[in-house]
Structure 1
């Protein structure tokens, strides 16, 4: 059985792979300029917003293919092969007429296009007669190393004997790649570090802390062949390992303890639980796929209703805090909630795409991405995966996403405690009223007999219903205004007795289980919004519905991974779970 990729291995591999993934300069013979490799990227960055990836072509000129440029538009052929000076495209670029606006094509880019036309406007392959609307993903874009499936390359044959046995230089496949790169530059490994240096490096790398004197002594005294491995394992098993390395993922997720909404900057009282979830996951060496699935769709892994939640279920719900780390301006009073909620969705997609896809797709919210093969349709297909949970049309502010962790047993105990405390409170109130009444009668004896009934009536009348005469009567005789706070001045024994009774009530109420909460990114069951593609990214200008889907460039063999509109087996849409 294939073992799951563990978080510890993955995070440490990121560090080691930095040696392997450093790009190298590869010299190649000068090749003729071609449309696909050299010119289309220029057109995509500066021209195709008006002359390609739009429903209505400006001037009926399409520059998605060299063939289309040669055919031209309303003004005639834009490209005349072999005649750069006679090509309208070069004329408009050099004059600054095109593209409109402040962003012009740099002179070095114009020179490349000019050279390409002068040399015959070559293409790498035959072009089709027509294209479907929108920007196509070219074979060159698909062939780019970033979009290739992961492979396990054979380690270079370095640091080995003639029979292939590793020497002391190469102990792991990573060593072979590093050594090969060093040797290509005429370098070798540095001398092996002494034990004190090694343990300092490991301790700082894995925990961010220096080794203790005891740890140093233990390692130096251990003469076993696997002393180094055991020392590394000890640090991997320490709580500080998760605390140190969780910071990297929390940075990627945009972790913050407040909403970041301007001057108010509302506190997120339960955000720390997501932070602790990441730390626990690293210290538990959780499989990486499980780690990601829980953060994207942990709520869809926990059956409804969410009563009597078990610790492992709470863990999955806490994980969805990953999708609530963006700045949320909807907590600010007087804010345009439609604008602010759509901004939250956009920022969340930035976090998801940059952390999991290695792409910043935000540009495609308004138009096809100028540099990466991400269309606006792709962007909104991706948004459709998350919109059921982050639905601006049924927006829920952070406080509305809290789930109580009370169990049925907690609720029963809380009800019993409340009932017992209420019984004690009723008795307390009656005793207090009796003591105050007794104190009042004693105090009334100090006033003229003809005023006693009036004072008693004024005292017993609720404050908001007293007449002006009654208010004045009591104001002129403040000693009659007896309340619990001053009862000790009239009857200290009674006040002390009430204090003890109140302590009993408080102790009883303290028996009530504390109600804890968790902030969850989840969907409202039975509510699946329709995601619309927005004209220029403006939520006030929806154009047409889009279905959920992955980025086209992420598809393999020309096929697209299908994400259901609604998973019939779940009360939710199931889109995030399918994508995860």
Structure 2
């Protein structure tokens, strides 16, 4: 826990570690990203190049297109490329698509300094989207390999391998580990870090009185065993998942009545230290682990179905406006949640076109969408209220019917006594009338209201006390009214003992035709093009040996099995992103900044990890420790 101050120190060291002259500009590192973001849609990742110009390689720039060479190496002033981007002629369209002065300066300097490349360019390059060597070599897409912890000169204060990685870089910069804090300070840090609460007086007394070896480790174990741990650390996942108690759409912002059940599921999972691989599988495909029909559910089945609340966190406005555009937006937001929380990538940027920065072609976005579309079927859409499962069992129904039967007996008792009390009160009021009209008064009361004669109506109006009813009985006989009220309360109290009708918010698949997912041209739902099959990101097939294709329909289970297959792929221990993402998020929530400082974007626009070897060591150690978050916390807190 000594290293709590280290990340800030390391951040301050970064400039001192890079005092050498900046490297020369290269096409791959500096220029290609500009072209990919602003130009490749017309002059690169397309089968039909506009003006015959391809900007994907330096030699293509020199060759140029229909207007001639795009660059003259060493002479930016004579380069057509610089002329076109400086005048604003290219890229065409809105100002938001234009290159910034800084980007133009990069292009100008690159040309002036020789238009360098990092490596020899490929002899051939096919049309359309192609992965480059830089794409293939990007750190986040490489398999996670366990590095050997480094050796250090000063090993006397090393407590576990985490310290070795930190100490190694500190020594390279002429520094060392921060000193140990005072015990009261350590206690306060630990309780806030793991529980989000200050230490109680009892915790203070117990820890400060424990001076034996292992006192710190025993404190950490006690804190991890606290129910407040799940509340503290479950919140971090709920934030990543976009959890909210309301839909987050329109001015009405309708409440999600049963959303809290997923929140409690997350908290319970953290407290139980449910292995992270299982934690993810259940959220992505818990329904595919439960057999239909979803009736008379066991506690375990309820738990699995509740987990799919993760896929219900996206804002959903279809309860108010159930049009195709809003349905599509729910799917898009769901993919955004999944990709940023689990993959640490901005996959949503490929919805309308190839990703401007990461190696994610547009078709990959729709391949991922195909995994979820059987449950988010636009053609057979369910509004939020239709995505609930009742937890009422047959036993609940039988018990409720039995209770209702007893309550109706009490109702009958009350009705009988009420009639008696009303009749008694009426007789008392009639007795107060002149004897000559008593008979007429009784006849008027017995006559149905619509059949009363004018004479009867006049009589009842003249003597309103003859209109005694259940609602006015208390005016004449308070004791009788209180008796009836007590009987009614017995019925109400009895009905209150019925099993409560509760629900869970879920994502499930309907049986029947499976929707065909198609690529939307420019992301336009009204322009569907070629169909796609479900799969993981294509770049992962290039950088790893793991299979990418997923089953289109698993006949062994009642659903398509797509989400379950993908979830198993994510958690097989071979995926390059999943463990890096959660380990990095955990580091961030302990120390305020991730080893990779952009936890939701490990792609090319994100900030590269300051300690990539430590990140990968932690990712492999996380798997070795059974995907246990508590073990990861223990490791970091005892370093």
Q: Same fold (TM over 0.5)?
A: yes
| Matching residue of 1:7 | none
SS in 2 for 1:210: coil
How far apart are residue 78 of structure 1 and its match?
Answer: 3.2
The answer to whether the 8 A contact 1:261-1:331 is kept is no
SS in 2 for 1:518: strand
How far apart are residue 118 of structure 1 and its match?
Answer: 5.6
In 1: Cα distance, 2:410 partner to 2:343 partner: 60
The 1:227–1:105 alpha-carbon spacing in structure 2 relative to 1, beyond 3 Å, is: same
* 2:260 is the counterpart of 1:272: yes
Question: Which of 83, 105, 109 in structure 1 is aligned with 2:99?
Answer: 105
How far apart are residue 79 of structure 1 and its match?
Answer: 4.2
Question: Which of 364, 370, 375 in structure 2 is aligned with 1:378?
Answer: 364
Matched positions, count = 555
The 1:150–1:305 alpha-carbon spacing in structure 2 relative to 1, beyond 3 Å, is: same
How far apart are residue 188 of structure 1 and its match?
Answer: 1.7
In 2: Cα distance, 1:494 partner to 1:204 partner: 61
The 1:327–1:79 alpha-carbon spacing in structure 2 relative to 1, beyond 3 Å, is: same
More deviation, 81-90/410-419: 81-90
Question: Which of 538, 548, 560 in structure 2 is aligned with 1:573?
Answer: 560
Matches within 5 A, 1:47-62: 47-62=39-54
The 1:285–1:450 alpha-carbon spacing in structure 2 relative to 1, beyond 3 Å, is: closer
In 2: Cα distance, 1:47 partner to 1:97 partner: 12
How far apart are residue 90 of structure 1 and its match?
Answer: 2.7
| Matching residue of 1:298 | 286
| Matching residue of 1:138 | 132
* 2:164 is the counterpart of 1:154: no
Please, which runs of 5 or more residues in structure 1 have no aligned partner?
1-11, 161-166
More deviation, 256-265/427-436: 427-436
In 2: Cα distance, 1:501 partner to 1:98 partner: 84
Question: Which of 99, 107, 120 in structure 2 is aligned with 1:125?
Answer: 120
Q: CA RMSD in A?
A: 3.2
* 2:551 is the counterpart of 1:564: yes
In 1: Cα distance, 2:385 partner to 2:539 partner: 37
| Matching residue of 2:415 | 429
More deviation, 343-352/521-530: 521-530
| Matching residue of 1:518 | 504
Render the CA deviation track for 1:110-137: whole Å, top value 9, x for unaligned. 344345456665552343444143x222
How far apart are residue 416 of structure 1 and its match?
Answer: 1.7
Question: Which of 213, 221, 234 in structure 2 is aligned with 1:246?
Answer: 234
The answer to whether the 8 A contact 1:309-1:405 is kept is yes
The answer to whether the 8 A contact 2:10-2:170 is kept is no
SS in 1 for 2:471: helix
| Matching residue of 1:46 | 38
Matches within 5 A, 1:459-498: 459=449, 461=450, 478-492=464-478, 494-498=480-484
| Matching residue of 1:456 | 446
Matches within 5 A, 1:395-410: 395-410=381-396
Render the CA deviation track for 1:417-460: whole Å, top value 9, x for unaligned. 2233234434543543454456556656746755764553343x
| Matching residue of 1:94 | 86
| Matching residue of 1:203 | 191
More deviation, 306-315/371-380: 306-315
The answer to whether the 8 A contact 2:322-2:383 is kept is no
* 2:323 is the counterpart of 1:337: yes
| Matching residue of 2:57 | 65
The answer to whether the 8 A contact 1:368-1:376 is kept is yes
Question: Which of 335, 341, 348 in structure 2 is aligned with 1:355?
Answer: 341
Q: Which has the higher contact order (CA 8 A, sep 6+)?
A: 2
In 2: Cα distance, 1:66 partner to 1:411 partner: 73
In 2: Cα distance, 1:28 partner to 1:473 partner: 110
Render the CA deviation track for 1:456-481: whole Å, top value 9, x for unaligned. 3343x5xxx99999989876764444
SS in 2 for 1:354: helix
| Matching residue of 1:6 | none
In 2: Cα distance, 1:15 partner to 1:294 partner: 33
* 2:275 is the counterpart of 1:287: yes
In 2: Cα distance, 1:179 partner to 1:263 partner: 53
* 2:201 is the counterpart of 1:213: yes
Render the CA deviation track for 1:299-355: whole Å, top value 9, x for unaligned. 1112222223222222222211111112222233xx353222222211121111111
* 2:534 is the counterpart of 1:548: yes
The 1:351–1:448 alpha-carbon spacing in structure 2 relative to 1, beyond 3 Å, is: same
The answer to whether the 8 A contact 2:242-2:337 is kept is yes
In 2: Cα distance, 1:202 partner to 1:276 partner: 24
| Matching residue of 2:300 | 312
| Matching residue of 1:163 | none
How far apart are residue 536 of structure 1 and its match?
Answer: 1.9
Question: Which of 310, 330, 345 in structure 2 is aligned with 1:322?
Answer: 310
How far apart are residue 237 of structure 1 and its match?
Answer: 0.8
More deviation, 469-478/252-261: 469-478
In 2: Cα distance, 1:535 partner to 1:57 partner: 17
| Matching residue of 1:412 | 398
In 1: Cα distance, 2:456 partner to 2:259 partner: 54
| TM-score (normalised: structure 2) | 0.78
How far apart are residue 252 of structure 1 and its match?
Answer: 0.9
Render the CA deviation track for 1:367-419: whole Å, top value 9, x for unaligned. 21111222211111111111222223222222211211122221211122223
How far apart are residue 146 of structure 1 and its match?
Answer: 2.2
In 1: Cα distance, 2:255 partner to 2:463 partner: 48
Matches within 5 A, 1:383-394: 383-394=369-380
In 1: Cα distance, 2:150 partner to 2:56 partner: 41
The answer to whether the 8 A contact 1:455-1:473 is kept is no
The 1:484–1:147 alpha-carbon spacing in structure 2 relative to 1, beyond 3 Å, is: same
The answer to whether the 8 A contact 2:6-2:177 is kept is no
More deviation, 533-542/563-572: 533-542
| Matching residue of 1:504 | 490
| Matching residue of 1:8 | none
Please, which runs of 5 or more residues in structure 2 have no aligned partner?
568-639
How far apart are residue 287 of structure 1 and its match?
Answer: 0.6
